[in-house]
Structure 1
């Protein structure tokens, strides 16, 4: 789980940095609507990735326990 948390935090920091760099007040080529759509889509993808990582981790742990039980018999 530590690896999943590290990945999530790293991606959130990346999102903050990119959000700061591309702030529409400093970059007149981007409108506020486009800015927030991009930020929210990216945030949604980070959350989706976290759920997928957690699901894969739980599945891996379940398989590991099944293999341990099978080897004990």
Structure 2
């Protein structure tokens, strides 16, 4: 995850603009699901601004609605 954030910073510094690289911006994603646990947990970046927190809440909602944890459990049973 840290490498992806560093990669985004480098691309931004070089002035490269492409929607693909925006996927590496933690403010757009807000957080990432933690796998290997029994309930949905999404971890955010420690320096997240309001936009990142908003996106993390939206991301968490999608994780819950999609039943990601349940689907992963079923796949390993």
Give TM-score scaled by structure 1 length: 0.32
Q: What TM-score does the superposition give when structure 2 sets the normalisation length?
A: 0.31
Q: Which has the higher strand share?
A: 2
With CA pairs under 8 Å and 6+ residues apart, which has the higher RCO, 1 or 2? 1
* Structure (1 or 2) with the greater helix fraction: 1
